[in-house]
A and B are shown apart, each in its own frame.
Chain A
Amino acid sequence: MKLFDVLLFASGSLRGSRTRTLLMIVAMSIGVAAVVVLTSLGEGARRYVIGQFSSLGSNLVIVLPGRSETAGVNPGMLLGQTARDIVVDDAEALLRSPAVRRIAPLTLGAAQASHGARNREVIVLGSTADLLPIRHMELAQGQFLPQIDINSAMSVCVVGAKVRRELFGPDTALGAWLRIGDRRFRVIGLLAEQGESMGMNTDDLVIIPVASAHNLFNTQALFRVLIEAKNRDMIEAAKHDAEEILMRRHGGERDVTVITQDAVLATFDRILRALTLAVGGIAAISLSVAGVLIMNVMLISVAQRTQEIGLMKALGAPQGEIRRMFFAEAVLLSMVGSTVGWLLGEIGSAIIGMVYPTLPVSAPWWAVLAALGTALLTGTLFSVWPARRAAKLDPVAALSKR
């Protein structure tokens, strides 16, 4: 019997019992759809978080003041000192490391900003020209902070989209004066709308040179120093160098915390991938349930078609042929079922994507493959026994069965 004929025959017998076929396809497709939808949800969550982190910048190393020690005593504690601040000079010193491409010191504060009669509280970020490339920010208009000496307090500012809208309205913002606290700053650039990323909304920001921010807030301390390593492989070196340099500058004391974006990213990536796998695995259980159902229905089918099987044997079908026929049915069923399930899953994911537009829901290719593979495998595996049973039937008894 030729393969094509086997398939033709199998599809014929599937069409011959529509309810049975339909039920099996439904069972199979629900399983596959569940896997596809759940993994795409998990994957969406993962991609969302990763996207948030990546939008911070690439090859980032972040230095924050203070250190969370779980044990031990440092000299500062005995002297009643808290951790030393990170100052601008510390930040500049980091550039000495060969692994560091550029740095951006950050000072953060809130201040009242006004233009004409409108005023609102804004978040003021003091930094340098390099913040733009490090943080992957985009300008809508004008220019970013100029490349000036890190200690020179120029009275220029770059404003976020929302600040611009609310303070300037229809007026031209570029070139206008903006009063922040007790100082005036010339608006030299407008940030493009970027929305939220990692809890900080650039649309609400006003960025000024770091020295100006220190004057404004009357402080020397930096909130963070962002370091961009030369490339991915240099991230660890940059982290190590940053710790060394700052330790030497702070009198041999390790009083800063250096974290790499990669480490944080990797952790989240691992957690969320595990989550996706877990949900997908649970959904896959429903697939194996579908497999048991297939086995059950196939067994019924073998019982119902006992006479037909006997006839096939009388007409010259060896056991292998009978097995292949039932096998082909199961495979066809699983193929149709899993394809329908896949389509359903994709439709379901698309609907979720429409309801939660921020979540990049799409089933990862490996999940789709795994779902289709599991469906085919369970379908085939669970039909082995019924097919064997059919093949082993005694032809005389099978033919005389009523």
Chain B
Amino acid sequence: MIRLQKVSRNFIVGDQQVAALRGIDLDIAAGDYVSIMGPSGSGKSTLLNLIGLLDRPSSGTYLLDGGDVTALNDVQQAKVRSEKIGFVFQSFHLVPRLTAAMNIELPLILAGIPVAERKQRVAVLLKNYGLTDRADHRPDQLSGGQRQRVAIARATSMHPAVLLADEPTGNLDQTTGKEVMNLLEQMVAKRVALIVVTHDPVIGGRAMRQLHMVDGQFTRETGRAA
């Protein structure tokens, strides 16, 4: 489903060119559970942003569902992001003035889905993630775990094919972190490709495929019996 071929990404820092990714080849199928691990600065976040179409590769091709998405324009890319990709961030990125329910509703609003259907889908998501009694709370009234649950509910509200999580447990304690990982892993059973970026080997070790990155290149891939 996701196929990266010789993807590189260079940044210009000052007058120097810094290569964040060097010729990455990667294939991810629907229902894959992949973790990308490596020290900070290894390019794992850049890779995630590329897969999430928030960034464009300097060279190489990125095929999503067989189509080359690097050539798409802004509107088309936004549409792909809206329909196929869900993001979960380390710092949750909830809109502070909106309630939990409205934060979950946001992608649906952006996609132009009618109000009635929106409300119904949000209600189901709130229930699934045990947030029904928190629906009208603002992010600052929620605990870290609840915030990340809201963020996951938001990421899955459009039924994406790919779920991208960048250090999803980075701001959580271990117990809540595990809960959050369980919620994310539930999506794998629904044939969603889950890609988790982390530097925590415990979290990363939960994935079926574990990719290790150093200096913008994969050093090795380890696996876990599914």
Which residues of A does B touch, CB under 8 Å? Answer: 1-2, 5, 9, 12-13, 15-16, 307-308, 310-321, 395-396, 399
19 A-B pairs besides A1-B112, A313-B54, A315-B107 with CB distance below 8 A are A1-B110, A2-B109, A12-B98, A307-B93, A310-B93, A311-B93, A311-B95, A314-B52, A315-B110, A315-B154, A316-B78, A316-B83, A316-B110, A316-B158, A317-B110, A318-B74, A319-B74, A395-B54, A399-B89
- What are 6 A-to-B residue pairs whose CB atoms are below 8 Å? A15-B97, A307-B93, A311-B93, A316-B107, A316-B110, A396-B49
Residue pair A313, B78 in contact (C-beta under 8 Å): yes
Q: Are B95 and A314 in contact (CB under 8 A)?
A: no
How many residues of chain B have a CB within 8 Å of chain A?
Answer: 28
CB distance from A20 to the nearest CB of B (A): 12
Bound-complex Cα distance A239 to B117 (A): 78
Give the tally of cross-chain contacts (CB within 8 A): 70
Within 8 A of A (CB), among B121-180: 154, 158
- Nearest-neighbour CB distance to chain B for A234, whole angstroms, equals 66
Given the interface pairs A395-B54, A396-B55, the reply to whether A317 lies near B89 with Cβ below 8 Å is: no
Task: Summarize A's interface: helix, strand, loop or mixed.
Answer: helix
Q: How far is the CB of B118 from chain A (nearest CB, A)?
A: 9
B13 within 8 A of A: no
* A397 CB, nearest partner CB in chain B, Å: 10
A13→B97 contact, CB < 8 A: yes
Q: Is the CB of B89 within 8 A of A315?
A: no
- Interface check B116, CB cutoff 8 A: no
Closest to A314 in B: B87
Q: Top 6 closest A-B pairs, CB basis? A: A316-B82, A318-B78, A16-B97, A395-B54, A316-B81, A318-B75
A317 and B87 alpha carbons, distance in the complex (Å): 13
Please determine whether B109 and A5 come into contact, CB atoms closer than 8 angstroms: yes
Cα distance A318–B52 in the bound complex, in angstroms: 14
CB neighbours of B158 from chain A (8 A): 316
Name B's A-contacting residues (CB within 8 A).
49, 52, 54-55, 74-75, 77-79, 81-83, 85, 87, 89, 93, 95-98, 106-107, 109-112, 154, 158
* Closest chain B residue, CB of each to CB of A3: B112
How close is B221's CB to chain A, nearest CB, in angstroms?
25
CB < 8 Å neighbour of B54 from A16, A308, A399: A399
Known: A1-B112, A315-B106, A315-B107. A321 touches B93 (CB 8 A): no
Q: Which of B54, B89, B98 has the largest count of A CB atoms less than 10 A from its CB?
A: B54
Task: With CB as the reference atom, state the residue of chain B lying closest to A391.
Answer: B74
| Separation of A318 and B75 alpha carbons in the complex (Å) | 5
Instruction: Name the CB-closest residue of B to A322.
Output: B78
| Contacting residues, chain A, for B83 (C-beta < 8 A) | 316
Q: How far is the CA of A5 from the CA of B98 in the complex (A)?
A: 14
Could you tell me the distance between the alpha carbons of A1 and B106 in the complex, rounded to whole angstroms?
Answer: 10
Q: Report the Cα distance A321→B82, complex, angstroms.
A: 13
**Docked complex Cα distance between A395 and B79 (Å):** 15
Q: Which of A13, A311, A316, A395 has the most chain B CB within a 10 Å cutoff? A: A316
| Residues in A neighbouring B106, C-beta threshold 8 A | 312, 315
Q: What's the least CB distance linking A334 to chain B, in Å?
A: 21
* Distance of A311 Cα from B94 Cα, bound (Å): 8
Residue numbers in A under 8 Å from B87 (CB-CB): 314-315
Rounded to whole angstroms, the CA-CA distance of A253 and B212 in the bound complex is 114
- Taken together as a complex, chains A and B put the C-alpha atoms of A96 and B77 apart, in Å, by 87
Q: A318-B74, A318-B75 are in contact. Are A312 and B110 (CB under 8 A)?
A: yes
Min distance, Cβ B73 to any Cβ of chain A, angstroms: 9
Contact between chains at A317 and B93 (CB < 8 Å): no
